[in-house]
Chain A
Amino acid sequence: MDRTNLLGRPLTAFWAIARARFLSLLQYRTAAAAGAFTQIVFGLIRIMIFEAFYRSSVGDQPLTLEQTITYIWLGQALFALQPYTIDADLRNGIMTGGVVFDLVKPLNLHSFWLARSVSNRLAPCLLRILPVLIFASFYGLKPPGGWYEGCAFGLALFGALAVSSALSTLISTTLIWTIAGDGVSRLFVAMSYLFSGLIIPLALFPDWAQSLLAILPFRAMADTPFNAYLGRIPPNELGMALAHQWGWAIGLALFGRWITGRAVRRIVTQGG
């Protein structure tokens, strides 16, 4: 096949794959309802725990209880945006050797997986976000402070989606090396769970950890958009926050592409 003809069209292919995957994922509505229910229950439990902590101390905290509650609800609503799910088709493809069919496609393997990954975050997230937010608005979720906060939140969400998709694709790629185990991927999940702000808001971490947390990519997926929502990112710092997101997104995507290329060269598929 003449690949040069396709050079101008990888982006079209990317969107076509993302769209097809997105539409097929929108079918899973019962799973989405169950997911939203689970997120709501966990949101309530975690809010009660934080309320108890806040009422046990009189000192000033970096976040007020009200801000923390909003932060938690945003985390519950956008839980599906996080890179916690491994593409099941991809895993099966690697386990059964079906991945060779992906290799035949006239598109870079990493781009193909990345396109799927974008939809794997976006579709489940869109299905769950409304029920959780509607419920949460009765239980302490506050709207953004103004137009600036709303727009900054929206912008930061794009960055969050980009980092999360690039990271989850990279995690999936590690499956090529460790066929049966997903130990490595789970380690990534554990780190991103803790360092993105999903367990506790990053501002509440000890002060000595803050500079490290600021550099790591994980905050870009949750803490950055949530802080934008809460108005904790002033206009003169917004550019820096977005640059942090896109810097990591592009870096992770390029690294993923490089590592996939290397993996493909030594891939041995089994079966005939």
Chain B
Amino acid sequence: MRLKALSLWGRYAMISLRAQMQYRASFWALLIASVVLHSAEFFGIWALFDRFGQIRGWSLAEIGVCYGLCGIAFALAEGLGRGFDAFANMTRYGHFDRLLLRPLSTEFQVAAQEVQLMRLGRLVQASVVLLVSLSWLNVDWSPSIVLLLIWCLVGGFCAFYGLLIVQATICFWTIESLEAMNAITYGGVETAQFPLTIYRDGFRRFFTFVVPVAGMNYLPVTYLVGKGGGWEVWCAPLLGAAFLIVALRFWRFGASKYASTGS
């Protein structure tokens, strides 16, 4: 069953990718535009370091690792979770009813809805920032560090994906998309680009324990640059996974309360 679902997801994904490649010129233009947009954003961070030198003892390369991990995780979540991101259209026009008729779970069908190729732009830009930053840092490479980086990405991906699911689930009640959720999703991305120590307490706790997007890269990065590290370094990304499980529960609850719209 699991295997069948996976191959089915692959087919959905292929269809979605082929559809997007129909507009080849448009695809490249958007890709380049998004690389430039995010590079402009990072140029802003660079300019601040050029002026101030450091932020609370963190260097540009160290921030670069945080920024890169956060960017990759978010780009993957947005690219693969587009179905949840654009879910408001399904409730608004009553398309969700169709999903209920098929012999597959709704979360699977929504997740397989679309793979957004455009997010490659952010993925590429964030990967470059991450790799360049790592090469500046003289990291003592070991298998455990590679594992930790991957583990961080998994944790961050889960947290951001969970956020998209929560955002979509709210549509079961509000029908329209709840714009205010953007403040938390994008605010979380903005926050996680810097190490948590620079923020005020309440804010830091919110993005560590309630919406665990910022914890997943901060603690592992401290270990990477030799500023800390213990067992909690490995546990931080787990919060992201836990958040995803809760988000999925919330989704099932929301779907069970769904009362359709339209005629």
**Hey, which bits of chain A sit against chain B, CB under 8 A?**
30-31, 33-35, 37-38, 40-42, 44-46, 48-49, 52-57, 59, 61, 178, 180-184, 186-187, 189-191, 193-194, 199-200, 204-206, 209
**Chain B: which residue is nearest A55 at the CB level?**
B56
Is chain A's binding surface mostly helix, strand, loop or mixed? Answer: helix
Instruction: Beyond A186-B37, A194-B41, list 9 extra A-B contacts (CB 8 Å).
Output: A49-B194, A56-B57, A57-B54, A182-B30, A186-B34, A187-B32, A190-B40, A193-B40, A204-B48
Nearest chain B CB to A30 CB, angstrom units: 8
Q: Which 6 A-B pairs have the closest CB atoms?
A: A183-B29, A181-B26, A34-B179, A186-B33, A52-B198, A190-B37
**Chain B: which residue is nearest A40 at the CB level?**
B183
Instruction: Check A183–B33 contact: CB distance below 8 A.
Output: yes
Instruction: Check B183–A183 contact: CB distance below 8 A.
Output: no
- Chain A residues closer than 8 Å to B4, beta-carbon distance: none
Instruction: Check A200–B44 contact: CB distance below 8 A.
Output: yes
CA distance A53 to B34 in the complex (A): 27
Q: Does B55 contact A (CB under 8 A)?
A: yes
Instruction: Check B40–A199 contact: CB distance below 8 A.
Output: yes
Instruction: Check A35–B179 contact: CB distance below 8 A.
Output: yes
Nearest chain A CB to B174 CB, angstrom units: 10
Contact of A187 among B27, B33, B44, B200 (CB under 8 A): B33
CA distance A122 to B203 in the complex (A): 32
Given the interface contacts A42-B183, A200-B48, does A191 sit within 8 Å of B40 by beta carbon? yes
CA distance A48 to B31 in the complex (A): 31
- Chain A residues closer than 8 Å to B41, beta-carbon distance: 193-194, 199
CA distance A29 to B47 in the complex (A): 37
Contact of A56 among B30, B54, B180 (CB under 8 A): B54
Is chain B's binding surface mostly helix, strand, loop or mixed? Answer: helix
Instruction: Check B30–A186 contact: CB distance below 8 A.
Output: yes
Nearest chain B CB to A152 CB, angstrom units: 26
Nearest chain B CB to A153 CB, angstrom units: 24
**Chain B: which residue is nearest A181 at the CB level?**
B26
- Chain A residues closer than 8 Å to B191, beta-carbon distance: 45
**Chain B: which residue is nearest A193 at the CB level?**
B40
- Chain A residues closer than 8 Å to B44, beta-carbon distance: 194, 199-200
- Chain B residues closer than 8 Å to A55, beta-carbon distance: 56
Instruction: Check A57–B52 contact: CB distance below 8 A.
Output: yes
Instruction: Check A194–B29 contact: CB distance below 8 A.
Output: no
Instruction: Check A183–B198 contact: CB distance below 8 A.
Output: no
Nearest chain B CB to A137 CB, angstrom units: 19
Nearest chain B CB to A49 CB, angstrom units: 6
CA distance A173 to B190 in the complex (A): 31
Given the interface contacts A35-B179, A183-B33, A190-B33, does A200 sit within 8 Å of B56 by beta carbon? no
CA distance A137 to B96 in the complex (A): 44
Instruction: Check A52–B32 contact: CB distance below 8 A.
Output: no
Q: Does B93 contact A (CB under 8 A)?
A: no
Q: Does B187 contact A (CB under 8 A)?
A: yes
Q: Does B53 contact A (CB under 8 A)?
A: yes
- Chain B residues closer than 8 Å to A37, beta-carbon distance: 180, 183
CA distance A57 to B198 in the complex (A): 14
Nearest chain A CB to B26 CB, angstrom units: 3
CA distance A13 to B43 in the complex (A): 43
Nearest chain B CB to A261 CB, angstrom units: 24
Instruction: Check A204–B26 contact: CB distance below 8 A.
Output: no
CA distance A187 to B200 in the complex (A): 34
- Chain A residues closer than 8 Å to B29, beta-carbon distance: 178, 181-184
Instruction: Check B198–A45 contact: CB distance below 8 A.
Output: no
- Chain A residues closer than 8 Å to B198, beta-carbon distance: 48-49, 52
CA distance A260 to B40 in the complex (A): 29
20 pairs, A vs B, C-beta closer than 8 Å: A34-B178, A38-B180, A41-B183, A41-B184, A41-B187, A46-B190, A49-B55, A52-B194, A53-B51, A54-B52, A56-B53, A57-B51, A178-B26, A181-B25, A181-B30, A183-B26, A183-B28, A186-B37, A199-B44, A204-B51
**Chain A: which residue is nearest B176 at the CB level?**
A30
Contact of A57 among B32, B37, B53, B178 (CB under 8 A): B53
Give B1-51 interface residues, CB cut-off 8 Å to A.
23, 25-34, 36-37, 40-41, 43-44, 47-48, 50-51
- Chain A residues closer than 8 Å to B52, beta-carbon distance: 53-54, 56-57, 59, 61
Instruction: Check A193–B37 contact: CB distance below 8 A.
Output: yes
* Complex interface bits, B150-176 against A, C-beta within 8 A gives 1, otherwise 0: 000000000000000000000000000
CA distance A176 to B43 in the complex (A): 31
Given the interface contacts A186-B33, A194-B43, does A206 sit within 8 Å of B26 by beta carbon? no
